[in-house]
Structure 1
């Protein structure tokens, strides 16, 4: 029980550190600029946490062990994203000035990427909530409203839209729990597939929503990470090999293809090697153009510096499109449900009037 509680506290501490990691990188860069070693700075944070926030102290102690072993990237395991750890792994091999500049740059990258994620979450949260509410409404409608109409009039006498509503109601009443479990399973499978599924079919699906949003986001982060390593005078091939160490199976699959393309005889410029489907078409074109410049490394770094801002705008548009699609689907389903209910109610009313007239 004690171990379980300790694991939960460490998980919660990592979650809190993840939210404030941009400030953490920035503070470390200032310490290095003031000639304070990273180990001493984190030791100070750990000592301060023991007095002010004991729940964070074990995390800082764990980070100190990794830093003592010379791995700042290892210290951020479970806290920073894989791309952040790729950058940390590259810049920690340089001197204090390189490391300080890299940490300051990483702090701004984290702020930009978190802002991009917040924009996307905000854009798709409303339609997802709407889908959940609509699903609850149509379930309640099927369980309570439709059975009442069924008692008043046999479904064979319902109008076409009403019979369609009755069919949906019967499916929900008989198989609703299986539909719910299937939907949850599909969501879990989709979440698992994003970083793990690799195949030619996945490459084709990455061109379309919602897979394209994942591709654009991670592709932009990869370009930022490679640009940061190239700024630290690491070759493109060495940067890609470093990236493989922290990459997800999906990204690792693409990175190995890029490395194979770079190794081919006909790959004179590195630009075309990146056309594996991991990047958006716009970034692929920019990298191909950069490879043909007089200073391709400098041009690549410029692309990396602007990748987040440009991808953020692109993802905002994609999220808006996804928002519109979900809203349209919910609207059509709601229209179908209302049309089925009111046409059936109108038919029922006409039947009651006809019976009343015959009774006279």
Structure 2
């Protein structure tokens, strides 16, 4: 039984990547005025013949829910547990819509836009994940070169050899040798803690870091998801406040906190909608775009619908820029450290060779001995 349940959950998870196509099939069902039970039974048979096991598992779950009765006619109820929680509020909008076929088609487009945003984020996450172990190995090798030179350098030459940036390179090499695994684990831990804090951390300090690469990327991604959900709810008869409250109920702690700030601002000044949304949930770019759209919009709900539908490419481009900034920041930091250590492995041997010239070596030795005699015993 447990194995069967785990297998079903795995197929449901795979189905979620195909759900935009399923929403379009549902839209066609409503256009043809086909009975829902007939649709489920027919699609299950087709899925069996075409070996679409993920789709078949999802359809069986929906059919079982439909046959239980209750709220069976509500798509949000039928698809509960089958599609991600992020779709739940948009499906509520579909349930409220008079033209369910058009609403489902819009939902399919919204899901595809969200998938595109996720793909952008994942694509820009691959390079830092690959670079981290490679940079760690490279820095370890370069550090070994520098420390080998340090161990073979006479004591009276070391002070001259390790001046300036060469000394910084030796400090990095010594830290790498002594604490390399710990620093690597610390770096990974900091990244993991930052990622874990994204949907949870709230408060005034969070507003300070919202523009930082990783946090800015998360804000822009979540704002894009918010726009698509708001567009679905508002275009199907929802009110601005009601839509915000509905989304907040099923959002992360971070999104709920931001939406509560928006709602409080609307309570204080119901006419300053743009200012309410400009309190941190929108990037400066998207805030500027919303300001532009508001000049010709009848109300701010129209602006949100525009951002969540026809402005989807601009929202995606904003997420892409934020992802690129985060990528450049993380990869650039790693490359900067590797480049610095690589240059040090060129400058240190050159400086070492010049200092080991007989005349220079003798001069340094005499200076060292003279300094030793002058030191109080």
TM value normalised by structure 2 = 0.79
Q: How many residues align?
A: 351
* Shift of residue 76, structure 1, vs aligned partner: 4.7
Range moving further from structure 2, 49-58 or 160-169: 49-58
Give the CA RMSD over aligned residues.
3.2
Query: What is the rounded CA distance, in whole Å, between the counterparts of 1:257 and 1:344 in structure 2?
Result: 56
- Counterpart in the other structure of 1:148: 148
The CA distance in 1 between the partners of 2:90 and 2:54, in whole Å, is 28
- CA separation of 1:38/1:198 partners in 2, compared to 1, >3 Å: closer, same or farther? farther
Query: What residue number does 1:202 align with?
Result: 206
Q: How does 1:281-320 map to 2 (within 5 A)?
A: 281-284=284-287, 287=290, 290=294, 293-294=297-298, 297-320=301-324
Q: 2:259 aligns with which of 238, 247, 255?
A: 255
Shift of 1:105: 0.7
CA positional deviation for 1:287: 4.8
1:179-224 CA deviation, whole Å, 9 max, x = no partner?
2222222222122211111111112211332211211221122122
Cα distance change, pair 270–251 in 1 and its aligned pair in 2 (3 A)? same
Distance 2:265 2:296 in 1: 17
Per the alignment, residue 137 of structure 1 pairs with 138
Instruction: Tell me, in whole angstroms, the C-alpha distance in 2 between the residues paired with 1:88 and 1:146.
Output: 61
The CA distance in 2 between the partners of 1:85 and 1:179, in whole Å, is 42
Q: How far is the alpha carbon of 1:307 from its aligned partner?
A: 3.6
**Contact residue 221 and residue 308 of structure 1 kept, 8 A:** no
**Is residue 131–residue 326 contact of structure 1 (8 Å, CA) maintained in 2?**
no
Shift of 1:247: 1.0
Distance 1:334 1:178 in 2: 18
The answer for unaligned runs of 5 or more in structure 1 is: none
Seen in structure 2, the aligned counterparts of structure 1 residues 303 and 336 have a Cα distance that, compared at 3 Å, is closer
Mark the runs of 5 or more structure 2 residues left unpaired by the alignment: 363-377
TM-score (normalizing by structure 1): 0.82
Residue of 184, 197, 208 corresponding to 1:193: 197
Q: Superposed, which structure 2 residues align to 1:258-273 within 5 Å?
A: 258-264=262-268, 266-268=269-271, 270-273=273-276
Residues 60-82 of structure 1: per-residue CA shift (max 9 Å, x gap):
33333445543533555566454
Q: Structure 1 residues 81 and 254, CA, compared in 2 at 3 Å: closer, same or farther?
A: farther
| Distance (Å, rounded) in 2 between the aligned partners of 1:154 and 1:90 | 77
Residues 1:238 and 2:242 aligned together:
yes
For residues 50-129 of structure 1, what are the structure 2 equivalents within 5 Å? 52-54=51-53, 57-67=56-66, 69-70=71-72, 71-73=74-76, 76=79, 80-95=83-98, 98-129=99-130
CA deviation after TM superposition for structure 1 residue 341, in Å: 1.7
1:173 alignment partner in structure 2: 177
